[in-house]
Structure formats: structure tokens, C-alpha cells
Amino acid sequence: MKKALSFFMAGAMLLLLLSACGQRSQQDVTSSIKKKLSNLNSYKADATMTLYAGEKPSTYDVTIWYKKPDFYRIHLKNKKQQLSQMILKNSEGVFVLTPQLNKSYRFQSDWPKNGSQWYLYESLLRDILNDPQPSFDRGEGTYTFKTKTNYKHSDLKSQQIVLSQKDLKPVRVKIMNDQGKMIVDMKFKDMKFNASFDDGAFDLRKNMTSANWQMPTSSKKKGSKSFHVFYPMNLSKGSKLTAQKVMTGKDKQYVLQYSGKKPFTLIEQKSKAWTDTVEPATVSGTPVNLGFAIGHLTNNSVSWTYSGTDFMLASKKLTQTQLVDLARTVLGQSHK
């Protein structure tokens, strides 16, 4: 009996030792992340992104391509909202494409190095490594890091980055505001490391004319005269709409003027396709991820295209971060 008990206890101790050996420490995982980042050559990823900025959550399909050293292709789609946009970076520069409107812009920008990007794997790994005290938890087959953020959105305060224990692939990214409410939920469906790409995969002209971009927009619907005016949903205290004008001319524009300590103007007009050309317009500023669209940010304005409408939000009193925060709330609408 004593021999049997002794044998049982020895076996239990062995199992505990084996289990302990299998548990990787946070330092071990961080070392593996550093190695993964330094050896990263290319990848293809598919994900769904859900935003909780408006009255109802909005979900988008996101495809991400990366090729070392500095080639990117991020495709954002939502058929219901008639959105199809892309950020493209190649040897010629940084571009934002809206091919169903035949629009493309070239930026003089160091994107994506100018801040965190929740859809880029290497950016997530750097956020983990750059936080001196990230929280760390093990789940069933996953590691979860809670880190600080470096987004151009003041309400995106912290994030949870979930990685697979097997190969450190991204599983999920949740970004919260200062109240702990989830604002962005990024779920990765598939990711392939060391991916190969066809010739021209990052070429501007090929991506502008790709058949994958065929998506109807309200600007292409013949006979459609409806237009929705969008309004900011979260105004700061004291801000109010003081004037709403309709400017007629070559293109009808809706001009919304807001007063307060930090006044601003919001201009909206129906999106129109450019003439038959794929040559990009060169602009100053930098591309910025608004979540539901890719915007163009300058010192005093941010502009974007969404749901068949072109927007420009301008103010000399708002900072760039405040412009981006306000633009993200322009989701309330009234049918005209």
C-alpha cells in the first residue's frame, strides 16, 4: 500500500513538473515576439472589424497584405454601406484609393510609422514590446496582453491583444475607452506568414482597375436624388449647430457651422466619380484611420468619403486629435 501511494505521489509530482515546464513565462513570450518581429518577411490576413462608435455597431471586412521591407495593402469593405477603400504603400509612396469613384490620393507621409495601427500585425507586436508594463494572461491556447495605445484618437485608451500560443498569430484586438467600453473589435479569421504575391500586387494602377473593386455606390445610381446629411453625434459642452446652408453651383454642398469655444465647419456633398484617369492627386497631410473610412488629415482639417458622401471637417481651434475624434462621430443623419 505504501509503495503504491509512493508511486502515485511520484507520478503526480512528475506531472506537475512537466506542466510547469510547459508554462512559458511572460519574458519567454516577449522574447518570442521580438524574434517573430525581426524575422517577419510577409503575410496575408483576413479579419472582421466591428466599431461601436454610433448608435448601432458597424462591421467591415478587412484584408491586410504586407511584404518586407515596406509594402502594404489594406482593403476595407462594407457592401451595405457601399464602402470600398484601400491604403496602399509601395516604392512610389503612400496612397488612399477609392476605385469605384476612380479616386486616388498620394500622400507625403511616413505612414504607418506615425502611430499604432490596429490592423497591422507588426504594429501590434511593437505596442506589446513598447509598453514597459503590459498585463499578461494565458487563456486556452492564447496569450493576452493589455497595453497602452498610440492612436490618433483620444478615446482609444487601452487595448487587449490576443495571440495564438502555437505561432503567435493575431486572434483578436479589443480597443477600449477610458471607461473600459469597447470601441473597436478586430477579429482575425485567417493569417498566412511568408505569403507570396503576384506581380503588381502592390501596384497602384493594377489595384485601381482590379475587378475585385466592383461595388455600386449611390453616386452611380441613375435617377437617385436622395441625400443624407450627417451630423456629429457627440458634441463638446457649449457646441451647437448655428447655421446650415445649401451652397449651389457646380456641385451642391451642405455647409454646417457649429459655434462654441472650439467652432468648426462641416461640409458635405454627394460623391462623384473622377474622370477616366488613374493618376493620383498629390496632397499634403497623412492618411488616418477613422474606423469606418480612411481619412485625409492636415493641420486644420480632415476629409473622407463615406456612404456616397464626401466630407470635410475644418477648424482652426481643434487639434488634429480632436478633429479625428469629432470626425469619428459624424454618423447621425437626417434624410433630405
Spatial CA neighbour of 45 closest among 159, 164, 189? 189
Q: Do the Cβ atoms of 239 and 262 come closer than 8 Å?
A: yes
How far apart are alpha carbons 283 and 262 in whole angstroms? 26
267 contacts 312 by C-beta, under 8 angstroms: yes
Write the pLDDT tens digit of every residue in 167-218.
999 999 999 988 889 999 999 999 999 999 998 999 998 998 774 555 544 4
C-alpha pair distances (Å), 64 with each of 45, 119, 127, 202, 284: 5, 7, 18, 12, 25
Measured CA to CA, the distance from residue 36 to residue 29 in angstroms comes to 10
- Mean pLDDT value across the chain: 85
> What residues does each domain of the chain span?
26-212, 218-270+298-335
CATH code of 26-212, in short, is 2.50.20.10
Backbone angles phi, psi at 135, to 5 degrees: -80, 155
How is residue 98 written as a grid cell?
Answer: 477609392
45-59, 83-97, 121-135, 185-199: least confident range: 45-59
Judge whether residue 84 has pLDDT over 90: no
How is domain 218-270+298-335 classified at the architecture level of CATH?
Answer: 2-Layer Sandwich (3.30)
Q: What is the pLDDT of residue 221?
A: 45
* CA gyration radius, the chain: 24
Separation CA 117–CA 89 (nearest Å): 14
Q: How many whole angstroms separate alpha carbon 279 and alpha carbon 198?
A: 22
Q: Contact 165/143 with Cβ under 8 angstroms?
A: yes
**Residues 4-15: pLDDT tens digits?**
445 445 444 444
Beta bridge partners of 254: 246, 268
Which of 76-80, 154-158, 169-173 has maximum average pLDDT? 169-173
Q: Whole-model pTM?
A: 0.84
Cα 207 from Cα 290, distance rounded (Å)? 22
Task: Tell me if 26-212 shares its fold with 218-270+298-335.
Answer: no
Exposure string (b/e) for 69-108, b if CB count within 10 Å is 16 or more? eebbbbbbbbeeebbbbbbbbbeeebbbbbbbbbbbbbbe
Pick from 31-35, 231-235, 301-305, 312-316: least confident = 231-235
Helix 121-130, helix 26-38: angle, nearest 10: 140
